[in-house]
Structure 1
């Protein structure tokens, strides 16, 4: 799976809108429906759901999700956070669409003091800020984020937890960040999801497909990669009834040193478990007895050094 930087994700959106073609409001509806379908499998009909919306397209996603949940008879209440006089066109369209439902409670919040003391909710949908965030969240919205974090409720963030930078670490930003239980990320994982220091903010995440144009995604070479099971399954040879170890390659593993032969043992076991038919482990002289005792099914190549790796063995026999 490709992990695109945020500028490329924006380009993917624009390319899809131009070349599919599709209107941006319809792409937003796709995003909302993908999240809504996930929520149908998680939310109970009796759950109280509070949707917090910013004024950009992430907030527009939240408004569209609220509309879909309301039409399915979920108990939905919306908080529109008025931190600016400006809002995106697609946000405005979805706010009008939600107001058309009349019975949905929409709270316009412009001061922290306007929020209730407690939310009394089972789920909070965080649609305040998306992946385009460029500065730490402080002030009024920072207070709102801390308020949500202190509630006794589960939080699902749309695309990315509000306040989290998508392409870099946020630990030293000094801003408030949503502590999401689940994050529903559109089309791609974010690089920020891979940082161990972000675990309090991104406990679990799932990818929601919005069918961005595949031609653009294939064309992007400036990307990181997350290797998934599906990416490697085609590389694993199937074991047939009369197959033998010679069909599955001969691997060479160079591992271990004085005081660290456990690494060689673990790596040897892992290599065999991963599917190598034959394995030769190259170790320093002092590691021979350890490998032969701990992993007797492995062949052993001995380095001329007593305690460490000093030279490559002949590589011709190895093909895995």
Structure 2
């Protein structure tokens, strides 16, 4: 599914109006019915009072229409229309007049002096001040209104976007004047700002509402921003050939672990094998061999000459993919071994954890990464590679540029893990939960993606399927175990259920 900018949403509205065809006021009515339906199901019956704050534009028009629909449904809504410039959007003006003509309606039009109702804990506030067209921080009276709403104990539901939040970049926004919604009812398609961690406190729980925007119009809009859908992953997931054997299902090399950090290697190895890999070799310090063989007996051992750390590279010619980094350490001899693996250019690599930390200290080696390799940093590791980022928007753009410049895939781990491709696309992953914020979760992801690469998945496919599968296994684990009790091993243990969920009949 595409993620559109605020400007593209406006283009899509106009396209829908012209080609459906449908009058803009009727499109607004359709959207308002979708909003009102959710409010009537989830909120209106449980609140003694409903107050709608409407701005002068299209978002305000939605709010006024919703106030009318709620009132007609037996839940009278008080509406406050802020018309300080005496210039309303035509559809907003129409919905003002319709609301005034509705029996039982309450409308206060604010034109000069600020009028603000007393808000109580049992109230439901519908925020319809500003939507996707906002391009500058809120100020003056509108900032006062949003701050008063935030200071109240009322339940706040925003229409389309929380007022004050811009659809893309909020780097220079005044966050003190942004509505802090408990929930957002987003019209049509996701907004980019919803996927950034620092905006969660404003957005709350998100519901996406289908308002019948033109599918032809959506297809015609170019976007480099996407959210992965389950059907895509199902189509990418391959059926295991009936005559498959371990020699045809890929042989991967995992370079991981040092004395005291073997858990990372074990997790990565178990995840790789549980993802369908034919054979896995693990390069590790020779003093740790017994531990690996006792915990992952299916793995083949490649012993380093050193007892405690990895100091040299083995010949990687016969491997289909290499995963390197979990629990690796950053000793200078280990760094030299990583450099040797890079220079072999034997096959695509998955680089994680200490491999990334080494590369951050040796940027000249970045050009030696095999084409289409996959890097899997968490935000702190990414900042070491690309420099400190003040916001998630800046971090996304730097990761995207890094992927383009070096011809690799960048998997930026987080609640909505981002996959930045060498061609400039950014894919947001919808699976996963807060329970996966636990040590070893990233090592599991390294094993999964390495396994898929070795099985013949293209790097783009391995990244997309691997990230989705990893998150889905975590979601299934959390359903049974709870987020608080989830550990990295649980993600591995629930991979079989995740595969079953994704397989087509």
**TM-score greater than 0.5 by the shorter chain:** yes
1:10-25 maps to which residues of 2 (within 5 A)? 10-25=10-25
Distance (whole Å) between structure 2 residues aligned to residue 253 and residue 61 of structure 1: 56
1:149 matched to 2:150:
yes
Aligned-residue offset at 1:14 = 1.2
Aligned-residue offset at 1:69 = 0.9
1:307 matched to 2:277:
no
Aligned-residue offset at 1:151 = 1.2
1:166 matched to 2:303:
no
Aligned-residue offset at 1:65 = 1.0
Aligned-residue offset at 1:25 = 0.9
Q: 1:228 maps to which residue?
A: 229
Aligned-residue offset at 1:165 = 1.1
CA deviations 1:124-155 (Å, max 9, x no partner) are 11000001111111210101001111111111
Distance (whole Å) between structure 2 residues aligned to residue 265 and residue 13 of structure 1: 52
Q: 2:36 maps to which residue?
A: 36
Q: Is the 8 A contact 1:251 1:276 kept in 2?
A: no
- Bigger mean CA deviation after superposition, 210-219 or 111-120: 111-120
Distance (whole Å) between structure 2 residues aligned to residue 276 and residue 40 of structure 1: 47
Unaligned runs of 5+ in 2: 321-453, 458-505
Normalised to the residue count of structure 1, the TM-score between the two structures is 0.86
Q: 1:134 maps to which residue?
A: 135
Unaligned runs of 5+ in 1: none
Aligned-residue offset at 1:115 = 1.3
Q: 2:85 maps to which residue?
A: 84
1:319 corresponds, among 447, 456, 476, to 456
Name which structure has the greater RCO, CA cutoff 8 Å, separation 6+.
1
Q: Is the 8 A contact 1:15 1:213 kept in 2?
A: yes
- Counterparts in 2 of 1:291 and 1:221: CA distance versus 1, 3 Å: farther
Q: Is the 8 A contact 1:250 1:319 kept in 2?
A: yes
- Counterparts in 2 of 1:257 and 1:152: CA distance versus 1, 3 Å: same
Q: 1:4 maps to which residue?
A: 4
Aligned-residue offset at 1:38 = 1.3
Distance (whole Å) between structure 1 residues aligned to residue 247 and residue 282 of structure 2: 22
Distance (whole Å) between structure 1 residues aligned to residue 291 and residue 143 of structure 2: 57
- Counterparts in 2 of 1:177 and 1:271: CA distance versus 1, 3 Å: farther
CA deviations 1:221-256 (Å, max 9, x no partner) are 3231122334323434679xx998869944736453
Q: Is the 8 A contact 2:136 2:173 kept in 1?
A: no
1:198-237 maps to which residues of 2 (within 5 A)? 198-236=199-237
Distance (whole Å) between structure 1 residues aligned to residue 160 and residue 178 of structure 2: 14
Distance (whole Å) between structure 2 residues aligned to residue 110 and residue 266 of structure 1: 63
Q: Is the 8 A contact 1:284 1:304 kept in 2?
A: no
Q: Is the 8 A contact 2:137 2:173 kept in 1?
A: no
Q: Is the 8 A contact 2:284 2:301 kept in 1?
A: no
Normalised to the residue count of structure 2, the TM-score between the two structures is 0.56
Aligned-residue offset at 1:312 = 4.0
Distance (whole Å) between structure 2 residues aligned to residue 253 and residue 33 of structure 1: 55
Partner-residue secondary structure (3-state), 1:90: helix
Aligned-residue offset at 1:314 = 2.0
Q: Is the 8 A contact 2:247 2:279 kept in 1?
A: no
- Bigger mean CA deviation after superposition, 25-34 or 249-258: 249-258
Partner-residue secondary structure (3-state), 1:185: strand
- Counterparts in 2 of 1:112 and 1:215: CA distance versus 1, 3 Å: same
- Counterparts in 2 of 1:284 and 1:69: CA distance versus 1, 3 Å: same
